Structure 1
Amino acid sequence: MKGLLRLSSAIALAAMMATTAIPAFTAPARAATLSGGFDVGPGGFQGNFNPLAATGGFTWLSVYFEPLVTYDEKLEKVVGQLASSYEVSPDQTTYTFKLADAKWHDGKPFTAKDAKFTIELAKNAKTGSVLAARLNAVSSAEAKDDKTLVIKLSAPSASLMDALTKVMMLPEHALSQIPADQLAKNSWWSTAPIGTGPFKFSKYVTDQYVELAANTDYRGGKPALEKIINRYFANPAAAIAALRAGEIQFTYVDSNDLKAFNDNKDFRVIEGNSFVVNYLGFNHDSPIWKDIRVRQAVMYAINRDAIIQSLYGGAAKPANCAYIADQVVPAGIETYAYDPEKARQLLKEAGWDQINGDKPITLLTYYTTPLAANVMAAVQAMLAQVGINVTPRAVDTPTYNSIVLNPTPDIAQFQMVYAGLQNGPDPGSINVGLNEKQIPPAGPNVARVRMPVLTSALDAALSETDAAKRSARYQEVCKVMNKELPWGPLWVAKRYGVASAKLKDFIWTPAPGGGPYQAHPEKWAIAE
């Protein structure tokens, strides 16, 4: 009972910290304007409109930038976007893309030279690209003619097409004169970006909103809306208040906010899998996590079922590796059921008093929602009950990235992270967070995981091009993760959005990172 009281107190304290302040904003008086909180939730990048550096926010970015290929709205298959078709060579090392007839927002034609230029930017880590590690297999990109792009690989890669869905095409004529190492933070992204999508950049008002205007020359037809506005909010509660007041027509919501919209005919609740595993990342450069018994103790100390039921309202599933999809989770793996006594015993056997004792451990996260605060408080309370003293620290995403992606970080700033990484639609996407070849600055393996057996399993899965054998390969990855615990996997939650009932032909999918996927923004409309 004492433990439950401590947990309840911690959760209540975190909940009290939420605010509902709504930033000052005056919406344009146009019936054909859709306003939304498109970047409220994990991964939103306020003021950063550079798709090379984006790990989220694709719901918004893909309204004006477009990739060669994207997922369909159900996230089941890859389909053409700026590529009208593509072919793969028998040895699966050459991909030939035929490009659609498209124009940049400044009227210049989109060509294979632009596509080649973009692929090369995305492969170059000096540009600040978070995609470089995912494109390692690309040996060259060639513009065979204006409408034909050829990508050659050094070895077959079953995850190439998934990676290409994140590579938004960029204009060579506008960016080629900017040095690679100056591109990431160049003012172009927030003052004059141009894409090929159905809406084009109009203006950005710092910390308030971004406005896009209809691209009347869009190849898919003139958009139904005149403008789309992305509002920024201090927190999800402020966005929900704006939605209920009719100031915006769409926003993300957490599962514990649904009661305000269920059974309300004025709104439509959209539900789907997030494909994001939330985990506790042990910084393997910190000596306190070297003994696997300590990492096991963390898992046994956390009552994941209680958190899922009480905080997520049941809208999540426990994860015991990086995956929860049936086809890639083998039978018989350890479930790490809640067992605080076992956690205490493991810590005693490992000599925790000598390793760290009650010294505070910084638990860093970029999740700043009230739900996340409650989760962190719960985890903190549960770990404290077995003798592990963690101090949560929530920061914005750019600050988080600057800390964890630093090639020589201060270990004291993050001995653990509470984070998320997508485990689908393609399971290969998890590789960048666990493969020892992706330790910063080479990639985003922020936990500095160095496990040869895990790297070998990931490499084997990534190179497996036989679809019938891929699931078995990823089951091996799951087994290694479950046994060795490079992370402390927690759960995969469902994700929710709420749209005004007045929106017509509006497509939003709870995709990892916000997409991209086929959403057809040119068809979005608002009923009078």
Structure 2
Amino acid sequence: MRRPFRLSVIALATMLSTTAISALTPALGGQAQAATLSGGFDVGPGGFQGNFNPLAATAGFTWLSIYYEPLVTYDEKLQKVVGELASSYEVSPDQKTYTFKLTDAKWHDGQAFTAKDAKFTLGLAMNAKTGSVLAARLQSISSVETPDEHTIVVKLNAPTGSFLDTMTKIMMLPEHALSSVPADQLAKSTWWSTTPIGTGPFKFTKYVSDQYVELAANTEYRGGKPALERIINRYFANPAAAIAALRSGEIQFTYVDSNDVPTFKDNKNFKVIEGDSFVVNYLGFNQDSPICKDARVRKAVMYAINRDAIIKSLYGGAAKPANCAYVADQLIPKGIDDYAYDPAKAKQLLTEAGWDQINGSKPITLLTYYTTPLATNVLAAVQAMLAQVGINVVPRAVDAPTYNSIVLNPKPDVAQFQMVYAGLQNGPDAGSINVGLNESQIPPAGANVVRARMPDLSAALNAALAETDNSKRDGRYQDVCKVMNTNLPWATLWVAKRYGIISSKATDFVWTPAPGGGPYQADPQKWSIAE
């Protein structure tokens, strides 16, 4: 377990402005080669090592969608769902039947992509034994039919407003390459990191453990021969190393935290890409832990944290407070509690809840998968603020696979994560938050890692998901927001901006700060880089 952080907010802000950037020894032989674009494409600075299996991926779609493709995806602005491997799609009036017409496409090994592959992929995604993180979202599927090689018909047992959003995250997989792998062995298969094939504009060629993944142009791509010869995804020990590689020209793109942006703003050699993350950061209360069951304790945590100070001093203003899982104006009802900073009220609530008898000064494990310097400083500030009201949290930062193994365990050790600091996407479709809060989504069924068992919340989510009238959906999600704001399964904190830095030598490069990295229309076959 890591030692607790003990820095003040002012000291943290000073550290952020004076942190030295470390040097990086080139792993790929120096400057990028002609017609090669290198970057840190995966899940923030440093990358998400081992993120090769799209069935198990919760992020990193910016990279995965360069060689895999879904039937449908979002447009570049995340405003509408458009065809990808589906040339078109239709939804029945009762919103229970979805018909996808497939485009002519080939797998990277030359075999044709057909409706059989699409049906096979949906079968894998619906089966939790494969390690699919989407299985719980696909429970409404009653049948999948393939009337011909270029048509797939998906029927639901009940309307589900978020079905198309879920479909954007299902990358198509080849039946002929994976059908012989038992479902319960698929997640551990070496295929993902050695010989995977997709239908995208680039083909997997090489993975060097802990260093990089290399893709080569798919010269037979239906959308035209890619302008680049290679795309390389680099992994870095820390964000500073990624930034150093960007400055030296070893890579041409990386995610950065908001505190790194000012150093690139006026540099003509780089372009800053900014956008909403659609991800609410929160402190989640494990409902299986006795100390988290009293709502007064959860409210005390909200009142104890000076969110405005953290946003100003650590995020540089590049975030805004969140008082439920949503931040879009149309989803926020009037009159909800803004939980303005009030440590005196926090202490009063703790006294009323009998905090000294429930827990007192005993250390509480605060588990997170956020490991960047910014996240470390944010947690240090949160720790200090909670300590002021008598709550002693000890942050423990681990890598994402370790985090998931702890929180998604059907029989977890509660002591390992009485609280979590995490984020969950809430857009562009509001229904995606269901998997993290509905009682029906408690692991292993879904990602309700805080084990929230709140009938009012589950009922509000179910009603919103079942709403077929688009004019009423926003109101349904406002109801979800009200219940969240009152019951506090999470202490919702803020939604931060997300940033990427791209070399000015790159042209036709599309990167959208999408939740989970997308997917979305990026047209990587058009990307190019000047020598």
How far 1:43 moved relative to its partner?
10
Hey, what does 1:55 align to over in structure 2? 58
Distance 1:29 1:343, change over 3 A: closer
Cα contact 1:39–1:57 (8 A) shared by 2: yes
Of 163, 167, 172, the match for 2:166: 163
Shift of 1:414: 0.3
The 1:234–1:21 alpha-carbon spacing in structure 2 relative to 1, beyond 3 Å, is farther
Q: Deviation at 1:47? A: 2.2
Give the Å deviation of 1:138: 1.2
Q: Which residue of 2 aligns with 1:129?
A: 132
- Map of 1:189-208 to 2, 5 A cutoff? 189-208=192-211
Q: Return the offset for 1:465.
A: 1.3
User: Is 2:372 the partner of 1:373?
Assistant: no
Cα separation, 1, equivalents of 2:32 and 2:301: 53
Cα distance in 1 for partners of 2:483, 2:335 equals 13
SS in 1 for 2:261: helix
For residues 41-440 of structure 1, what are the structure 2 equivalents within 5 Å? 41=44, 44-440=47-443
Superposition TM-score, scaled by structure 1 size: 0.97
Out of 452, 457, 463, the residue aligned to residue 466 of structure 2 is 463
* SS of the residue 1:22 aligns to: coil
> What is the DSSP-based 3-state SS (H/G/I as helix, E as strand, rest coil) of the residue aligned with 2:420?
strand
Q: Tell me, what secondary structure is at the counterpart of 1:212?
A: strand
* Separation (CA, whole Å) in 1 of partners of 2:279 and 2:9: 25
* Alignment of 1:26 onto 2:47: no
Residues in 2 aligned to 1:60 and 1:512: alpha-carbon distance in whole angstroms: 13
CA contact (8 A) 2:46 2:235 kept: no
Q: The residue matched to 1:126 in structure 2 has which SS?
A: helix
> Helix, strand or coil for the counterpart of 1:261?
helix
Q: Give the superposition deviation at 1:235.
A: 1.2
Q: Name the structure 2 match of 1:518.
A: 521
Contact 1:11 1:375 in 2 (8 A): no
Q: Amino acid of the residue matched to residue 509 of structure 2?
A: F
Post-superposition offset of 1:16: 8.9
Write the distance in 2 (CA, Å) between the matches of 1:15 and 1:75: 33
Instruction: Give the distance between the partners of 1:14 and 1:506, measured in 2 at CA.
Output: 29
Q: What displacement does 1:91 show? A: 1.5
1:11 deviates by: 6.4
Q: Does the C-alpha gap of structure 1 residues 23 and 135 become closer, same or farther in structure 2, counting only changes over 3 Å?
A: farther
Per-residue deviation, 1:39: 1.3
Q: Deviations over 1:290-310 (max 9, x none)?
A: 111100000000000000000
Distance 1:155 1:527, change over 3 A: same
Shift of 1:244: 0.6
- Is contact 1:240–1:251 with CA below 8 Å preserved after alignment? yes
- Aligned sequence identity (%): 77
1:490 aligns with 2:499: no
- Structure 1 regions of 5+ residues with no counterpart? none
Change (3 A) 1:42 1:336: farther
Output the TM-score relative to the length of structure 2. 0.96
Change (3 A) 1:357 1:333: same
Shift of 1:41: 1.3
Aligned to 2:3: none
Deviation (angstroms), 1:248 = 0.4
User: 3-state SS of the aligned residue for 1:217?
Assistant: coil
Consecutive unaligned residues of structure 2, counting only runs of 5 or more, are 1-5
Superposed displacement of residue 343, structure 1: 0.4
Q: Which letter maps to 2:235?
A: Y
Give the letter for the 1:8 counterpart. I
Deviation digits for residues 162-182 of structure 1 (CA, Å, limit 9, x no counterpart): 000000000000000000000
SS state at 2:346 partner: helix
Distance in 2 between residues matched to 1:497 and 1:291, nearest whole Å: 40
- Cα 1:345–1:429, aligned 2, differ >3 Å: closer, same or farther? same
C-alpha separation in 2, matches of 1:404 and 1:349: 30
- Asked whether the equivalents of residues 437 and 452 of structure 2 are also in contact (C-alpha less than 8 Å), the reply is yes
Q: Deviations over 1:67-103 (max 9, x none)?
A: 0000000000000000000111222111110000000
8 Å contact kept, 1:10–1:381: no
Give the superposed CA RMSD: 1.7
CA contact (8 A) 2:441 2:447 kept: yes
- Is the Cα–Cα contact under 8 Å of residues 7 and 384 in structure 2 kept in the other structure? no
Shift, 1:24, TM fit: 4.7
SS in 1 for 2:265: coil
Distance in 2, matches of 1:371 and 1:18, equals: 14
Q: Structure 2: how far apart are the matches of 1:271 and 1:49?
A: 26
Q: 1:451 to 1:17 in 2, by over 3 A?
A: farther
Residues in 2 aligned to 1:427 and 1:154: alpha-carbon distance in whole angstroms: 21
Per the alignment, residue 8 of structure 1 pairs with 10
CA distance in structure 1 between the partners assigned to 2:357 and 2:488 by the alignment: 22
Q: Is the CA contact 2:280–2:494 (under 8 Å) kept in the aligned structure 1?
A: yes
User: Separation in 2 of the partners of 1:14 and 1:148?
Assistant: 54
Alpha-carbon separation, structure 2, partners of 1:133 and 1:14: 40
Distance in 1 between residues matched to 2:210 and 2:163, nearest whole Å: 35
Task: Indicate if the aligned counterparts of 1:210 and 1:229 stay in contact, CA closer than 8 A.
Answer: yes
